[in-house]
Structures are given as C-alpha cells and as structure tokens.
Structure 1
Amino acid sequence: MVENRPWLTFFSHISLLICVALICFPIYLAFVASTQTAADVISSPMSLLLGGHGIENYTAALTGSDTYAGGFSVSRMLWVTFVMTLIIAIGKIAISLLSAFAIVYFRFPLRNLIFWLIFVTLMLPVEVRIIPTYEVVVNLNMINSYAGLTIPLIASATATFLFRQFFVTVPNELLEASRMDGASAMTFFKDVLVPLSVPSMAALFVIQFIYGWNQYLWPLLMSTSEDMFPLAIGLRQMIGSGDGPISWNIVMASVILMLIPPIVVILSMQKWLVSGLIDSEK
C-alpha cells in the first residue's frame, strides 16, 4: 500500500524545483547576456532582464560579423559540428551492430578473446592513445578533414557490449526459423535483428550524439583551419587569450546556439531513449 504523505510530496517537489532552478539559472543568464550589449554584460551587476539586442547579436554570431568575437561564423561551425556528430553517432552504431552480430552468431577461433579485447579498450580512451593516433592521422593526410575528425572516434566498445548483450537475449528460434526459410546470415541480420534493435539504436544515438557534439580535445588537434572548427573549438577561439575586448554578448549567443541541437535531439527522442535503456521486454 502506498502511503499518502502530503508533506513528503511537497518537500520532494520543492527539492526538485530548487534543483531545476540551480541547473537552469546559468543557461538563463547566458540567454539574457545574449540579448544585451557587450557593455551591459560586463557591467556590475549585470541586469537579469532581457535586453533589446537579441536579433542583432544572434545575426552577428551566425554571420561572424563581430570582429571582437574573432569573426567566427557560428553557422559554419554548427555545420561542421553537426556533420562530425552524425558521422560519429551513425558510425559507432553501424560498426557496433556488425561486430556484436559477428561475435554472437558466428563461430570462429578465439571469439571470446576478441570480445574481451574489444571490451578492454574501454580503459584506453582517446586521451591515452592520442599521440599514436595523431601520428597515424597525420601520416594519412587527414588533418582538417571530416575523416580525421571522426574515424578515430567511431569504434565503440560500449556500444558493442550493449548490442552483444541484447543479441544474446534474442530467442534462437528466430535464427532457426530464418534458416528454414533459406535466409542468409545478413538477411537475418537485416530483417530480424536490426528491427528488434531499433530502441537500443535510438538510445545509443542520443548518447553518442551528445558525445560527439561535446568533443573538444581531438578536434583541437585535428582542426587548424577556421573552416573546420567545431563549435567547442570556435567558442574557445572567440574568447581568445589576449587582453583585448571580448564581445561576451556574441559569445553567449553562440553558447545558446550550441545548446539548441542537443536539446532538440533529447526532447524528440526521449521516449526512445528511455525505452532503449530500461525496457526489458524488447
């Protein structure tokens, strides 16, 4: 029986509201700053009310017309970041699906050893292997290219493990029925496993999209041209390291623009994300 305790419900809701306010206040502050002038932003104390320069600030950020913000075009950086993120997310899912399929449904020597070797790579993130990876990419002339930004980040031991664990739960009767119908291995993979894996694929897509969107260290090494700067690198370049004036209103407008795509992806795929992570009957 569920006990009815109004005071406990009230306390829980107040706690949640306080947590939401603490998390959202910096975002609200950045949005307010993006609608004010540069002088208003650096004034003390800064006004917490919306200003009247939002349209011109966002236009300047998208076009890169503000010289004090480095002249970086956020529209170009958004495109580079979006393409890079999609390649990373889709590439991780595709490779992980195939590798998990091979490990579960094919019998070959040292199969379990290969799986555990893939799993052990979780202890070797990009930061650990960054020097040899960078040398390989340079030797292949992939600096300032989408291939250099994405290929070293595509393989995913986590996604392979998750798909492998899901494939193990698929009834063997489906495989036997497919064989009796004359279906090949790839037909079984395409017509049976992939449709069953859609919730897991959607959940992983959201996770990997956020992962790719927030990449900083690897793109910092791979992009030396302004045309190939993702947003994380462009924002750092906008702030600069000198003592000159900084258009913080343009920087904050760029920050808000950077937040929009991940928020849209999470909100639009929220049901898929929850289903793929916690649904035990799929």
Structure 2
Amino acid sequence: MTARYYAPTGGHPPQDQLLTDRAAFTDAYAVIPRGTMRDIVTSFLPFWTGTRLWVLSRPLSGFAETFSQYIMEVSPGGGSDRPETDPGAEAAIFVVEGTATITIEGVDHTLSPGSYVYMPPATDWAFHNESDAPVRFHWLRKAYEAVEGLDLPDVVVTSDAEVAPVAMPGTDGAWATTRFVDPADLRHDMHVTIVTLQPGAVIPFAETHVMEHGLYVLEGKAVYRLNQDWVEVEAGDYMWLRAFCPQACYAGGPGPFRYLLYKDVNRHMALRPALSAPMRRADLRQAAE
C-alpha cells in the first residue's frame, strides 16, 4: 500500500467558523493544529522564488533550542540556487507532496512523496520544481556540532519506501521506527525518523528525556500525552516538545498513526554558551579533518 502524507494548502476558514481549536503553547510543549497553517501565517526566504513556507519551530531561549522546522511550498517553476545562507547549518528534507529536483554537489536527484535527504553543513545544493504542481516538503535545520576527530556525515538520499521499519522490542511490529541513518553513526548529531503505531498500539510509558522533539503527524490520529495533558492529534498537526517533557501515545485507528520525528543526539551537553558567530565552511572542514 502506498503511503500518504498530509500536506497543508493554506487558504482561510469562513467567517462563521468557531474560534475554538486545539492550539496550545505551554512551558513544556506546543501543539500547532493543521487548521492554523493558513495564508496569513506564511513567510518567504531570501533567494527562493515561487516559494512560501510555514515555520513550525525555531530556537527559543528557555524552550526548545536546537533546531528549526519549516513546511516549504514551492510553486511550478520555483526554487532556489542558494537555498541555505548559513554554512554551519545541516539539513534534512522530507517530501510530503509533489515532485522536484534537488541538485547536490552537481548531481541531480528526483524527489517525490516519501523522499528523504540529509545534507551536512557546507553542502552545495539547489532545489527546483520543474513539474506543473506545487511541491511541499519539510525542511529541518540544525547548527551542526562538529567534534574533533569525527568526519562530517555523508549526504543521504533515500525514501520512506526504501527503508524497512524496525519494530520496537516486544511489540510484534505494532510500534516501529523508520531510521534513515544508522543510529550508531556518531557523526550525526540529530536524527529524523518516522514512527509508526498500528491501531491500538501504545507508547507504554511516559518518556522523559533530554532530547528535544518536533513531531509532525503524517497520517492517522491518536491521543498524545504531553506533560500532564492528553491531547487528541490528527494528520497535519505538529507537536513541539522541550527537553524532559513527559510523553506517551495511544494510536486511535482506524489506520496507522505515523509521524515525522526530530531529536538531537550523540553530543555532550554544552556547559557554557555556544559561540554566537556561525562557523565558516573552512572551519567546518578543518574541524572534521
């Protein structure tokens, strides 16, 4: 069965719609329902044409501080030859709708729904929609934490369909994770995965850990435990969790519940403020040698 992924299309609700919604921002988590992703909250980026985006998360002091996440919408003929202006930023892309071409270090790759791309910092890339319909994709960005003695990670171009989910122990496949990179590869300081829970499956304990999370619901519905609250979520909703926010889940059916998950991993906890100046490309390459 071909996977389907929810993608926002913007627009505005009618004047007679009730204002009551599930949107929430607390000290421990935020819930951004799909109905909030309207035309009025889109933004634009330098050096991108025919493109708008919804910003789902950004570093906030005292909340989640390691990453940003966008939903990009690139119209036919749109794109960028200079998509990233920060040479210290690594990137993960996941396509939810449409097709496009990404050119990485001079090599073209065709992207379609389910495509996943990882690019280390200082990668030369471009993105263009040469189709006759919009392409929509998630773009996650993180300031890469270089470690002396570790090379930069390799570019990864794969897809949801190409990677077999790994079942969590003792669940008979009811709870599984699609991992696009090897969890033991310590060159990576973030993981972007897809978590799948079959109807009735649960995360059976309140996970409480140092990793920050961004969770975008690709399909299905569930009741999610966030701190002390149970929140009903569906395809297109986004959850943003700061470190140590307790979390659990009960998949409601009738189909699978799937979400795109970000977390920061594999690095020491910073004991002093990071340098504010972005790392130059030469700095990153030297740090990896």
TM bracket (short chain)? under 0.3
**TM-score, normalization by structure 1:** 0.22
**TM-score, normalization by structure 2:** 0.21
Q: Which structure is higher in RCO with an 8 Å CA cutoff and minimum separation 6?
A: 1
Greater Cα radius of gyration, structure 1 or 2: 1
Q: Which has the higher strand share?
A: 2
Q: Which has the higher helix share?
A: 1
